[in-house]
Amino acid sequence: NPGAFPDGFLWGASTSAYQVEGAWNTDGKGPSVIDHARFRDNVTDFTVCSDHYHRFKEDIALLAEMGLKTYRFSIAWSRLYPDGDGELNPAGVAFYQQLIDEICRQGIEPLVTLYHFDLPWALQQAGGWSNRRTVAAFERFAVTCFEHYGKQVKYWLTINEQNMMILKGEVIGTLAEGTEDVQRSLYQQNHHMMLAQAQAMIACHQRLPDAKIGPAPNISCVYAASSRPEDGLAADNFSAIRNWLYLDLAVHGRYNAVVWAFLQQRGWLPEIAADDMAIIAAGKPDFIAFNYYASATVSADLPDAARGELNSKQKADQQMAGIDSTVYVGCNNPHLSQNQFGWYIDPVGFRITAREIYARYALPLIVTENGLGAFDTLEAGNKVHDDYRIAYLRDHLRQLRLAIADGVVLFGYCPWSAIDLVSTHQGIGKRYGFIYVNRDEHDLKDLARYRKKSFFWYQQLIASNGAT
Ligand code: BGP
């Protein structure tokens, strides 16, 4: 049966703590960078979100009904350590214990992200990832998670989208206010996160010999705008900066030579202490998790007029990490359609991305995010007809199946998101879930849960192990 999904394939779905839980200051939780972020005017804040903190039993029951084999969620660091590194908060430990018990009771495999953007505010005030103290604090937090939950949790993710935290530092809240020499600071922070990730992987392997742990960057294939060799070079530059820097360090324990040269030329090299590279090399992932939403297209030097009118996503790609236009320039891709938010929809790019990662690193892969953000409408009878989401997921899964037929070893697929939650920059209006949460930007309504059309579609798909 060429292209079938392997037996035991982990059909899943994902969330993150700060986007789904709410209860932002309940039971001793400390604030995180998210609770202090300056939001766009009038966009939903993260105080209540989908109120998963109080409704997790109902939510996990729905995920079990959908047939999930695994559920990816994150632990809010500042629920366990309210100031990031001081006293452990027993109520926080107890919450995740109950959540994990419930997930296991329903026969679902927990897949835990240790850190998904929500750095404790107290650590941020002391310099965040610029301060080496944060590396030790992360290791302590990770070890606490391994000790408390390691009997039940076999799959761990270190840091969600570390590359986006660096490449879009200003957007995601990685930068402390008043940071000078922004790019240098970001690449120093990146180095410290790499070190923290390596130490967490080492600690995991020492304490939990049967567990598996890996990084979870956002990886996308990058196309050259034309067959001009210079455009090919620009695409290679952007892939190195956007994708490979992070995975080369995580898997091979060394800096990507091309990116290193870029950083050196610009005076952005991080300070590296004596043992750092040995530690980074010693922390080995068991698998690579990756998030994929869209592809990117770049050119060497096309004038604005020839590149077309860039949408906001492409402009953001262009500004990534302050790299100037001698390295690459973002372009339109006339062959792809876009979603309501200007993200290119590119299922074939998904297949290419899986193949590229596997060919480069030869480690098993799992997809930890993929999905379609859209303005859903709750219709009569509390129905949501999200055929556009079904089409997106179906087309991407077909390409994933082809990637497996191409030889890629892939053991799971966790679309974003299990249930509606608050988008990092666009509020609750931009929905991704299989389950509708009845609230608006500011009106909490009754927070009732309704199964969308995609819920029943995914349920059937899982039951047939991916036959579409
Ligand atoms: C990824 C993040 C998620 C989620 C997702 C969708 O970058 O890991 O936390 O936010 O993107 O993005 P958005 O909410 O901006 O549409």
Looking at residue 3, what is its pLDDT?
47
Instruction: Say if CB 211 and CB 152 are below 8 A apart.
Output: no
* pTM metric for this prediction: 0.96
Which one of the listed residues 109, 139, 161, 356 is annotated catalytic? 161
Mean pLDDT score across all residues of the chain: 93
Looking at residue 318, what is its pLDDT?
65
> Cα-flanking dihedrals φ and ψ of residue 328, to 5°?
-165, 155
Residue 333: CB within 6 Å of ligand 1? no
CA distances from 22 to 26, 47, 60, 129, 300 (A): 9, 5, 16, 25, 44
Residue 63: CB within 6 Å of ligand 1? no
State pLDDT tens for residues 44-80. 889 999 999 999 999 999 999 999 999 999 999 999 9
**Hey, which bits of 167-246 come out as E strands?**
212-216, 222-224
More confident residue, 115 or 3: 115
Task: Residue 345: count other Cβ atoms within 10 Å of its Cβ.
Answer: 18
The protein residue with its alpha carbon nearest to ligand 1, atom 6, reads 423
State pLDDT tens for residues 405-459. 999 999 999 999 999 999 988 899 999 999 999 999 989 999 999 999 999 999 9
**Ligand 1 pocket: which of 43, 167, 369 to mutate (most atoms <8 Å of CB)?**
369
**Ligand 1 pocket: which of 114, 423, 426, 431 to mutate (most atoms <8 Å of CB)?**
423
